[in-house]
Amino acid sequence: MLYPIETETREVKDLSGIWDFKRDGEDSFILMPVPASYNDITQDITLRDYVGKVWYRKRTFIPISWKEKRVFLRIGSAAHFSEVYVNNVKVMEHKGGFLPFEGEISSLLKYGGENEILISVDNTLSWDILPPGELKIINDEMHPKEYKVLEYYFDFFNYSGIHRPVLLYTTPMTYIKDIKVETDIKGKDGLVEYKVSLEGEIGNIIVNLRDENGNLVASSNSFNGMLEVKNANLWEPGNPHLYTLEVKIFLDKKLIDCYRLDIGIRTIRIDGKRFLINNKPFYFKGFGKHEDSDIRGKGLDHVINIKDFNLLKWIGANSFRTSHYPYSDEVLFLADKYGIAVIEEAPAVGMNLWNPENKVFRKGRVDERTLEHHLQVMKEMIDRDKNHPSVVMWSVANEAATFEEESEEYFKKIIEETKKLDPTRPVTIVESTSYKDTKVSKYVDVICVNRYYSWYTDSGNLDIIEYQLEKELKDWYDKFGKPIILSEFGADTITGFHSDPPLMFTEEYQWEMLRRFMETLDRLDFVIGEHIWNFADFMTKQEVRRVLGNRKGVFTRQRQPKMAAHFVKERWKKIPDFWEK
């Protein structure tokens, strides 16, 4: 899937702005910004915690000139199930709240007139959608009849609505439908293998590869091919050179369509206990993040995004994981540009009830319907993001109940299919299970482990970290012989709380905990990365272990540094991006 861009043959109309909005069944509309979660926009608690369907409506003029073109409607994301109507005709529906969907609407439009776009979005979770959840209906003496509660087992608020831009865009009748790029390195030269798919009449093609200054470095006139770039400037974390692949289609010598795709030339390979980018051992320094901010919820916000990348650079991070779902296209374009490596995660989180007696991988919960949807999500995610140089690994899930027998077949299929869809990137699953019990980690290329020593276990005992971390990670390595990333570790920290000696929830405790974890990792040469949980504080559902959300951020939700940020910055300054212990 190509991201909509403007070129000499294409137009984009961004429908971001103020839409009409109402809950299903209501008579009148209120005003609602798009993109944004609707939850925190009004003062109405029943809307904040609403479960069910809502409607978004936008009226827009379509220019007469668009009659000669194809017009597509693309929704960046809608959490979680959506149906789309144009001038009262249903054009598409989509399941899954974190990936885009689009459809051609040319035949439904009034050209030179006003058109109505109506989008329903339902945030109800079930076991056959990712992330899963369940609508519980309580009938006991302590609740009113049929009392409804949406239960979910992941640790972020179920923000809802249209979270990413809604775009109208045009293409010519014959148009470039997709481009796929894979790159390699030969000595000092770069190899760019590409494939262009076309819809409509077959025309002639010119493919030009240009460097950052617009200079032509290679070209071809076939739909599939290999471009060679002499003395290529590679893409890598910290030094992210991009090239532009310019694809032009001609019919009878007339330019019909043009698309420009930014690409990076780089390789990724696992070699024993090393993760090689451009044949050099890469060390992941960074965070698990969230798409989350005040008022906007999970709505795309360029201000927050640029601030976050500036903070990543400031603190010396070179990577993050899109915990726990694929982030917006716009974030990944920034990662390409800023030179930040991304572990991109599927929205498979909350597949764990932390109880071997109460199974998740069974009929009616995570079963063949979930599997089918999960496979579809992997397909959509890879289809959208295959060309991003910043995406260096796929994560198929976070903290699933991989100790259950039935999880093995499930994830074996998901991992096999992911590797088939993209043989160029390693695959991981992020584990909370013990190395002894996991049925799945044997299928992945890199082991990712989340550990909360001195927090959820041995709470308050910082002195246990070194012993437990070293022991457990060595056990993981001895068993699987694969490189390991400590993909989560952290402490809830209320900014402004202090104590010395360090006590839980203070800024000193977070600092001291991170220090002890990190210094232990330095001694383990098979550990190829440290991702702190979390980049910033974020909203969760309300529960007694959460104080206005999860406070494990090294930055506050408003993106101000806690004390530990300064320690992490000093540490990461000393660790190069390419580092072999």
As annotated, the active-site residues are 399, 488
CB 222 within 8 A of CB 214: no
Sign of CA pseudo-dihedral 16, 17, 20, 22: positive
Q: Does 432 bind ligand GCB (CB under 6 A)?
A: yes
Q: Does 537 bind ligand GCB (CB under 6 A)?
A: no
- We find the least distance from the C-beta atom of residue 131 to ligand GCB, in angstroms, to be 10
Q: Which of 550, 557, 559, 577 binds ligand GCB (CB under 6 A)?
A: 550
- We find the least distance from the C-beta atom of residue 530 to ligand GCB, in angstroms, to be 15
Q: Does 155 bind ligand GCB (CB under 6 A)?
A: yes
Q: What is the greatest pairwise CA distance in the chain?
A: 78
Residue with Cβ nearer ligand GCB (450 or 520): 450
Binders of ligand GCB in range 306-365 (CB under 6 A): 324
Please, what is the Cα angle at 447 between 404 and 240, to 5 degrees?
Answer: 140
Residue with Cβ nearer ligand GCB (402 or 550): 550
By CB under 6 A, the count of residues binding ligand GCB is 10
Give the three-class secondary structure for 101: strand
209 forms beta bridges with 218, 245
Torsion of CA 560, 561, 562, 563, to 10 degrees: -150
CB 568 within 8 A of CB 552: no
- We find the least distance from the C-beta atom of residue 490 to ligand GCB, in angstroms, to be 7
Q: Does 433 bind ligand GCB (CB under 6 A)?
A: no
Q: Is 278 left (phi over 0), alpha (psi -120 to 50) or beta?
A: left
DSSP per residue, 418-460? HHHH-TTS-EEEEE-S-TTT-SSGGGSSEEEEE--BTTTBSTT
CB 344 within 8 A of CB 329: no
Q: Does 395 bind ligand GCB (CB under 6 A)?
A: no
Residue with Cβ nearer ligand GCB (154 or 243): 154
Q: Does 171 bind ligand GCB (CB under 6 A)?
A: no
Q: Which of 322, 328, 370, 398 binds ligand GCB (CB under 6 A)?
A: 398
Binders of ligand GCB in range 442-481 (CB under 6 A): 450
CB 470 within 8 A of CB 523: yes
Long-range contacts of 452-457, Cβ-Cβ distance < 8 Å, separation of 24 or more: 452/488, 452/489, 452/490, 453/489, 453/517, 454/491, 454/513, 454/516, 455/490, 455/491, 455/492, 455/504, 455/513
User: What string marks each residue from 475 to 514 as x (binds ligand GCB by CB under 6 A) or -?
Assistant: -------------x--------------------------
CB 339 within 8 A of CB 240: yes
- We find the least distance from the C-beta atom of residue 156 to ligand GCB, in angstroms, to be 7
Q: Which of 236, 399, 445, 512 binds ligand GCB (CB under 6 A)?
A: 399
- We find the least distance from the C-beta atom of residue 431 to ligand GCB, in angstroms, to be 10
- We find the least distance from the C-beta atom of residue 289 to ligand GCB, in angstroms, to be 11
> Which stretches of the chain bind ligand GCB, using CB under 6 A?
155, 324, 398-399, 432, 450, 488, 533, 550, 552
